[in-house]
Amino acid sequence: MKVLVIGGAGYIGSVVVRELQRRGHEPVVYDNLRTGHREAVPPEVPLVLGDLADRDQLATAFQRYAPEAVMHFAAFIEAGESMRFPGRFFANNVASVITLLNTMLDHDVTRFVFSSSAAVYGDPDSLPVTETAFLRSTNPYGETKAMVETVLRWLGELSGLRYVSLRYFNAAGAADGVGEDHSPETHLIPIVLQSALGLREAVTIYGDDYPTRDGTCIRDYVHVSDLAQAHALALDYLTAQERSLVCNLGSEQGASVREVVEAARRITGIDFPVLMGPRREGDPASIIASSQRAMEALGWRREHSSLEEIIASAWEWHRTHPRGYASS
């Protein structure tokens, strides 16, 4: 199937592009390279340099490549930044997606896979969090994802759109020579590994007085390869089913910040320094997914999401690409 992958030069999108190729699909990447990397796109995959907000260029890409499905990864992703610049987030993560969806429908393309996020839940009342939990994001980033899901629901009911919205928990790890290269980097595992490489002075743990097993926050890390499998399965779902789907993608196991640090020390063999800092406002103590729905509806199976495998694969990437894509 021809798949237009918006944001396919970014971290998760570029791993999904390779999975699509492996399964015989024909991905085309559309990306403005604002946070993505040209080198992350396989040379044989067409790369359209364009912004999602550019209606004319989007329409040209639909005419030229005639995609049968669209996957959307193109968003600003940093929750803290969304507290400082909410307008930018609503413009890029919501308004531009509406432009995309309208362009799809104009071209009779009705299959859509969306990168949603655990951030839609905020600080959930009970764990593991299921898709029926109340949505109450604690920052504009999470709210943008919830808003797009609302738009999807209405376009699904009234305009014939069919979609799978995948609420990822913490994407991590590396695969196929593709890894995480965000700037600035705010995700724990790359930060820890950059500290192991001596690229940062220390890792700061924000709070060790949470009601968790070791006092530090617990998050659910899922390997980017397992996310890529879920995207391929979502395409199959949209081919076989007339329905849409919203589902979590997580490992269903939490790791605390301290456990990530200790696992990274063990795997790298480097005893990098760790500092204790105060809590950050808005950080929930624990968030862990139930991924039962993805397993049942998509047939999703996690194969790489143990903390060991996630960190070992990420270490391989960071060790060989200490400055990310600029290293190659």
Ligand X SMILES: NC(=O)c1ccc[n+]([C@@H]2O[C@H](COP(=O)([O-])OP(=O)(O)OC[C@H]3O[C@@H](n4cnc5c(N)ncnc54)[C@H](O)[C@@H]3O)[C@@H](O)[C@H]2O)c1
Phi-psi region of 255 (alpha: psi -120 to 50; beta: other; left: phi over 0): beta
State the minimum distance, in angstroms, from the CB of residue 30 to ligand X.
6
State the minimum distance, in angstroms, from the CB of residue 285 to ligand X.
19
State the minimum distance, in angstroms, from the CB of residue 242 to ligand X.
26
Nearer to ligand X, 35 or 225 (CB): 35
- Residue from 148, 94, 95 nearest 120 by CA: 148
Strand partners, 4: 28, 70
Q: Determine phi and psi for 42, rounding to 5 degrees.
A: -55, 140
Nearer to ligand X, 10 or 140 (CB): 10
221 annotated active-site = no
Nearer to ligand X, 48 or 155 (CB): 48
State the minimum distance, in angstroms, from the CB of residue 309 to ligand X.
16
Q: Of residues 30, 121, 141, 168, which has the active-site annotation?
A: 141
Q: At what angle do helices 96-106 and 140-158 cross, to 10 degrees?
A: 20
CA-to-CA dists, residue 116 to 24, 112, 266, angstroms: 25, 12, 32
Nearer to ligand X, 96 or 195 (CB): 96
Phi-psi region of 189 (alpha: psi -120 to 50; beta: other; left: phi over 0): alpha
Per CB under 6 A, residues contacting ligand X are 7, 9-13, 31-36, 51-53, 73-75, 77, 92, 96, 115, 117, 168, 170-171, 182
State the minimum distance, in angstroms, from the CB of residue 269 to ligand X.
26
Nearer to ligand X, 196 or 289 (CB): 289
Alpha helices in the chain (DSSP H): 11-22, 55-65, 79-84, 86-90, 96-106, 140-158, 188-196, 224-240, 257-268, 292-298, 307-320
CA-to-CA dists, residue 318 to 159, 178, 181, 199, angstroms: 44, 10, 9, 11
Active-site positions?
141
